[in-house]
Amino acid sequence: MGFIPVFILTVLFFVMMFGIGFILNMLMKTTWFPAYLFVLIILPVVVYSIWDRSAMSLWEHLSSFHFVDYLTGVAGLAGAILSGWTIQKLRFGGYKMF
């Protein structure tokens, strides 16, 4: 893949997870729920859904991912964590809505 599509994909995943995490934090009055959700539910479901279990083991499957796949996952996780950090700072700043 070229640099521009990888950059757009990374930014897209970051912004998407930040937005979803921010909205979930506002509605559920939690701080770190989206980050936990991303690590405990979303990543394993994605890995399991595209895994060809008849052909390879778990470690072979994880090593078959490319740098772009890991980069988008890290960008999504960073967006989820940053949304929790942002909500926490807004609450400490006195905003009751968040």
Provide the residue-wise pLDDT of the chain in tens; the chain has 98 residues. 789 999 999 999 999 999 999 999 888 888 888 889 889 998 888 888 888 777 778 788 888 888 998 999 999 999 999 999 999 999 899 887 76
The pLDDT of residue 63 is 83
Domain that holds residue 24: 1-88
* Calpha distance 62→52 (Å, rounded): 11
Task: Determine, yes or no, domain membership for 62.
Answer: yes
* Calpha distance 33→1 (Å, rounded): 33
Task: Determine, yes or no, domain membership for 76.
Answer: yes
The pLDDT of residue 53 is 73
Locate 85 and state its tokens: 């950090």
* Calpha distance 42→61 (Å, rounded): 17
DSSP code for 57: -
Task: Determine, yes or no, domain membership for 96.
Answer: no
Task: Determine, yes or no, domain membership for 60.
Answer: yes
Q: What's the domain count of the chain?
A: 1
Task: Determine, yes or no, domain membership for 95.
Answer: no
Task: Determine, yes or no, domain membership for 26.
Answer: yes
Residue 34 CB neighbours (<10 A): 28
pTM across the whole model: 0.84
* Calpha distance 44→46 (Å, rounded): 5
The pLDDT of residue 98 is 61
